[in-house]
Structure 1
Amino acid sequence: MANFPPAFLDEVLSRADLVEVISRHVELKKSGSNMMGLCPFHHEKSPSFSVSPDKQLYYCFGCGKGGGTFQFLMEHDGYSFPEAVEYLAEKVGMEVPKDTQTQPGDEARQKKAYDMLARASEAMSRALASPGGSKAAEYLQQRELPAAIIRDYGIGYTPDGYGFMNKVFGDDARTNAQLEAVGLLFKGERGYGDRFRNRLMFTIRDRRGRVVGFGGRVIGVGEPKYLNSPETKWFHKSELLYGFSEHRDSIRKARQLVVVEGYMDVLALAAHDLKIGLAPLGTAIGERQIREIFRLCDSPVFSFDGDRAGRQAAWRALERMMPLLKAELTPRFLYLPEGEDPDSLLKLEGADAFRKRLSDEGKPVLETWLLGLKNLAGQGADGRARMAKKADAMLATMTDTYLRQAWQQEVERATGISLQQQRRQPTPTAEAPRPVLELNTVEERFISALMQKPERFKNLPEIAHNFFTGNEGIVSLYLRAFSIIADAKDYNTDIARQLTQEFPDSQTLISRWVNQATVQDIEYESLLLDMESNDIRLRLKRGPNLNESVRLQQRLKELQGQQRKLTEQLNDTGA
């Protein structure tokens, strides 16, 4: 892990513009002092994603994601922290200190691997356009894929026989070992050989758009029909989705996503201007992939062939989906006509008709589940018993309590059997109780007011230091803010940024405060009165001595009088 000097990180962040980074993925519009847009982390119809250009922090009031520029690059684009720093430093024209790498050579090896994979993809594209790639090119013509799709998605060809990769990269021992490490060569009894031979090649990219591996379809006769890159440091089949980096932004913009079975289905959709398709890499879809799908769209359509194999694939997807389902997620399942796939239907009916299938024929996940249970269980009393037993086992994997209860009611109605309600018990842990973090409305607005305008700290009464002493979750952060202001040359210091660096675990919390609706001065005055009044009430509950009690009650009356005058002022001005 890189260890970057704090001064260097500060300088990178001061030169970078969070709005510019986020605007690559989100259309932001001015809203008061902040910018608002549709959240890139979850599907929503009304904007709840706020960006503070002044504080350089973002927060979504819908899903609770928040942070700064590095955090966005890590959470959204899939960068590691060192990669996020290096990317941003390069973007703003800064050189990364050479002594930040704890293991010299790691960065160079990573870059070499990605360069090799990208060069291999380019070489495969050239081979497709050469005379030797004519059969693969004819296959693509038969599938009616436009040249732009072939180019943009990095479709290529690997010739039959051995030696193609060595012609591209050379044939020395070190190069061969590197090519084996990235999955392009394998080592056999007779030495190194090309993993992909006489295959139509599909370039597979990660979330950042980097080439990490390939899928190859055999041309003519051969086994296996499809062959993927092996598991490497860069290629993890269970985590990747074909088309993710190419379609992520268009899926969010269209608010539509269809999960299909293969590479050609994704490409066929894209060729018909439906850049909303994703596919697992030749195997059954897994939980990690489904998690990514739900992050992109809360109402994806899982499209499968209508034959027995297609229904089995749909059932496996549903089983893996169960632990992730929430009441706000509405996935659907679409079974295509016997013998048809998205490619053939698009050619037969066109894009509009396929869109209509997606919207009209997709079955809700609950309906798909009940139908699948009936098909598995069979008829009669024994069948209903088997259906109830299987349903109970599957419901035990669900984590959304309310959704689980609703589904349980539906299956009990279908079978006439009360389920046993067997549930997975949480594993006991020895973790200490988490510090209190809850804030009431007044506290939330008050601390937001301070973070939005740090100069307000200078006029706070001494008693203000005690406002959050009962809240272990934020008291350290709150008191640290006072010392930052005291040491600052002026009261306009970027206190929010400094606090996010010193309290990284509270970054989301601080982002929420600065992205709250602007706290105007007159509201702040009212909040300050409320905070002191609440603090006095807490002291009175502790039973102070008589003199202290009299003093506190007198001060409380003074604050109440000031609050009444402030309320009258607000009414007079119509604020």
Structure 2
Amino acid sequence: MSLPPNFLDELRARTPLAPLIARKVRLARSGRDQKGCCPFHNEKSPSFYVYDDHYHCFGCGAHGDAISFVMQNDGAGFMEAVERLAAEAGMQVPKPTPQAAEAERREADLSEVLAAAAAEYRRLLRLPQGASALAYLRGRGLSDATIEQFGLGWSGEGRGVITEALGRQGITPGRMIEAGLLKATERGPVDYFFARVMFPIRDRRGRIISFGGRVLGDGQPKYLNGPETDLFSKRQTLYGIDLARSAVRSGATLIVVEGYMDVIALHQAGFSGAVAPLGTALTEQHLAELWRISPRPLLCFDGDAAGRRAALRSTELAIRALAPDRGLAVLALPDRDDPDSLIRREGAQAFKARIETVPHLAQTLFDMLADGADRATPEGRAAFRKRLEAVARSIEDKSLAGEYRAAMIDRLYAERRQGFQKAGPGKSSRQKSPHVSLPRPAIDTETTVGRRARLLTAILLCYPSMLPDLEEAFGLLTLPDDCARLRDSMSEWFHGAEALDSADLLNHLTSSGLRDVADRVISLFPQHTPETDPAAMAELEASWYGIYGLMNLGWLREQCAEQSRRWQEEPEPEVWNRLVSLTRALKRAERGEADSDAVF
């Protein structure tokens, strides 16, 4: 059975590769990617690398995507692997119907029509009639290599140009209408684009799915995107996504700007992770696509009032879905600047410096919400505080929501303290506080995840009797370097220990030169659970899994389902107790309880 390419693309996009492979392979962070020992051949040194959309073993040459991994690792056929992954992703595998085959044929046909149109537009740009369009592009600072890279072209001056050109290739007006090149009118089909510089729009695979056009002169609309078709949806498409995906894998920053020219200018200046929505505000579909590529995309909209409003709207849309491994950043530009004009005025190095020093989203969000807010009166400050708290509460991950709330409220209090200090003698009866501010560490994914990882490690250092049940789960986590070194030494001790005693484990860590590291990690966890109390230990195990679930919710759900199946087969007390423990942990993780609540 032949499956539609768009279905397979969506399935791969909805299947994060690293968590899938981590079920079978112990992975460790290696720069932006992850690595481990290859599951397809015996090796002692890891040469198996996992990227955002594929894996590769530099030892045996194994290579593929999520579907390939299930096939190679589990011995599954193609359709079996697709059905398994689709079930996990909540997708229905298209049935082999005549309608599905026809839809696939139509998409392939539309792609051929659009590719032919792109070639014609490029040809016209280099003819005398395209001289004004070529001069416009060069006047915007684009090199011939950049113009070629992005496939820019010229539609021709009047209507009928593309109809005549493609007609000579046997492409009918009906097919051109379906592709979005013509539109039907009472006078018959007419060109959708004319007298415009043409920008091919590609999907993530690099396939042309539509065009955008910029009028020369004062015509309106200045920019025009093709109509919705079977291939093209503005709410789901980002301009430049095909080039940005590979660039981000190589270390580029994923930058979201407002338009075609900003994307192209950034790429030419060396910022090849730039993308843009197409004449619409960022949507949830856009954000999902961005997070598939990078855990922290950077919004860089124009510096005018409209750009600031767009940045705030996009941030408020994104904030609900923020998580320790899914963030956002916003780079505010000077008034009346866009990325293109800023780079031309200041240069690429200055723009790079701005990216590298972009503040955390909690700080940026405070500034956005403060813009225009009344903070001079008690009523205004109370209203502003309520707005800060409401925005923080909208974050579904409650642990992260608490961190954002604390960061923004701390800054609000700091401003009030500074206000009192500036009032001076006789202007305020309040005494100057000896503490100028309440410093707080930056809120970012590494801080949040690192704290949880160290807490999980601390519990196992204090209660190594839990290792038989928790070692596998613990081994699947990507840990900070100190915890990773402790885990390796703990595993070595565990497999040779006669008794699972904390004092013996600490002696082993002392001899390994890791005692100071262990003591720092243990200090995070105040021990007060006696190992002789089974109920207390069961509660501690549930707490451990609760924190673990905040870092790997999918795995915890799988364990609950597996233990439930096991209970049906083995209705034994220990199976039931473990099921209760896992279920309690899952509920805690899904509610996103604060770490302190989850443990204590």
SS of 2:336's partner is coil
Determine the structure 2 residue equivalent to 1:370. 366
SS of 2:379's partner is helix
Write out aligned runs for 1:459-538 (5 A).
Answer: none
Write out aligned runs for 1:423-462 (5 A).
Answer: 440=469
- 1:257–1:297 CA contact under 8 A, matched in 2: yes
Determine the structure 1 residue equivalent to 2:249. 252
What do the CA deviations read for 1:378-437 (whole angstroms, capped 9, x no partner)? 232232233234334433432111111122234444567xxxxxxxxxxxxxxxxxxxxx
2:396 to 399, 409, 422: 399
Instruction: Provide the C-alpha distance between the structure 1 equivalents of 2:146 and 2:114, rounded to a whole number of angstroms.
Output: 20
Q: Give unpaired runs (5+ residues) of structure 2.
A: 5-16, 22-31, 73-77, 414-467, 475-553, 560-568, 577-600
Determine the structure 2 residue equivalent to 1:201. 198
SS of 2:129's partner is helix
Structure 2 CA distance for partners of 1:176 and 1:277, relative to 1, 3 Å: same
1:376 deviates by 4.4
Instruction: Please report the RMSD computed on the Cα atoms of aligned residues, expressed in angstroms.
Output: 4.5
Determine the structure 1 residue equivalent to 2:478. none
Instruction: Provide the C-alpha distance between the structure 2 equivalents of 1:283 and 1:541, rounded to a whole number of angstroms.
Output: 53
Indicate whether 1:332 and 2:329 are aligned: yes
- Identity, % of aligned pairs? 32
Write out aligned runs for 1:43-442 (5 A).
Answer: 67-68=70-71, 105-170=102-167, 175-360=172-357, 362-379=358-375, 380-413=377-410, 440=469
What do the CA deviations read for 1:341-388 (whole angstroms, capped 9, x no partner)? 22222223322222111112x222111111122224323223223323
Instruction: Provide the C-alpha distance between the structure 1 equivalents of 2:217 and 2:3, rounded to a whole number of angstroms.
Output: 52
Instruction: Provide the C-alpha distance between the structure 2 equivalents of 1:322 and 1:171, rounded to a whole number of angstroms.
Output: 51
- 1:56–1:68 CA contact under 8 A, matched in 2: no
1:538 deviates by 6.0
What do the CA deviations read for 1:36-79 (whole angstroms, capped 9, x no partner)? 2243159xxxxx9989969988789xxxx97448679x99xx9x
Structure 2 CA distance for partners of 1:443 and 1:310, relative to 1, 3 Å: closer
- 1:57–1:68 CA contact under 8 A, matched in 2: no
Structure 2 CA distance for partners of 1:245 and 1:407, relative to 1, 3 Å: same
SS of 1:159's partner is coil
Instruction: Provide the C-alpha distance between the structure 2 equivalents of 1:190 and 1:196, rounded to a whole number of angstroms.
Output: 16
Instruction: Provide the C-alpha distance between the structure 1 equivalents of 2:216 and 2:271, rounded to a whole number of angstroms.
Output: 27
Structure 2 CA distance for partners of 1:286 and 1:107, relative to 1, 3 Å: closer
What do the CA deviations read for 1:482-507 (whole angstroms, capped 9, x no partner)? xxxxxxxxxxxxxxxxxxxxxxxxxx
1:155 deviates by 0.8
Structure 2 CA distance for partners of 1:124 and 1:41, relative to 1, 3 Å: same
Instruction: Write the letter of the residue equivalent to 2:363.
Output: E
Structure 2 CA distance for partners of 1:195 and 1:329, relative to 1, 3 Å: same
- 1:52–1:58 CA contact under 8 A, matched in 2: no
- 2:254–2:275 CA contact under 8 A, matched in 1: yes
Instruction: Provide the C-alpha distance between the structure 2 equivalents of 1:294 and 1:410, rounded to a whole number of angstroms.
Output: 24
Q: Give unpaired runs (5+ residues) of structure 1.
A: 5-17, 43-47, 84-98, 417-438, 446-507, 514-534, 543-575
Determine the structure 2 residue equivalent to 1:545. none
What do the CA deviations read for 1:278-332 (whole angstroms, capped 9, x no partner)? 1111222122212222222223221122221221111011111112211334422
Instruction: Provide the C-alpha distance between the structure 2 equivalents of 1:118 and 1:541, rounded to a whole number of angstroms.
Output: 60
- 2:154–2:196 CA contact under 8 A, matched in 1: yes
Indicate whether 1:39 and 2:51 are aligned: yes
SS of 1:230's partner is coil
Asked which structure has the greater RCO (Cα within 8 Å, sep 6+), the reply is 1
Instruction: Provide the C-alpha distance between the structure 2 equivalents of 1:193 and 1:53, rounded to a whole number of angstroms.
Output: 56
SS of 2:320's partner is helix
SS of 1:310's partner is helix
Instruction: Provide the C-alpha distance between the structure 2 equivalents of 1:218 and 1:126, rounded to a whole number of angstroms.
Output: 18
SS of 2:111's partner is helix
Instruction: Provide the C-alpha distance between the structure 2 equivalents of 1:440 and 1:383, rounded to a whole number of angstroms.
Output: 54
Determine the structure 1 residue equivalent to 2:426. none
In the superposition, the TM-score normalised over structure 2's length comes to 0.57
Instruction: Provide the C-alpha distance between the structure 1 equivalents of 2:329 and 2:574, rounded to a whole number of angstroms.
Output: 57
SS of 1:280's partner is coil
Instruction: Provide the C-alpha distance between the structure 2 equivalents of 1:365 and 1:324, rounded to a whole number of angstroms.
Output: 13
- 1:176–1:192 CA contact under 8 A, matched in 2: yes
Instruction: Provide the C-alpha distance between the structure 2 equivalents of 1:207 and 1:298, rounded to a whole number of angstroms.
Output: 18
In the superposition, the TM-score normalised over structure 1's length comes to 0.59
1:229 deviates by 0.9
- 1:183–1:230 CA contact under 8 A, matched in 2: yes
Instruction: Provide the C-alpha distance between the structure 2 equivalents of 1:272 and 1:57, rounded to a whole number of angstroms.
Output: 32
SS of 2:332's partner is strand
Instruction: Provide the C-alpha distance between the structure 1 equivalents of 2:408 and 2:35, rounded to a whole number of angstroms.
Output: 44
Instruction: Write the letter of the residue equivalent to 1:398.
Output: I
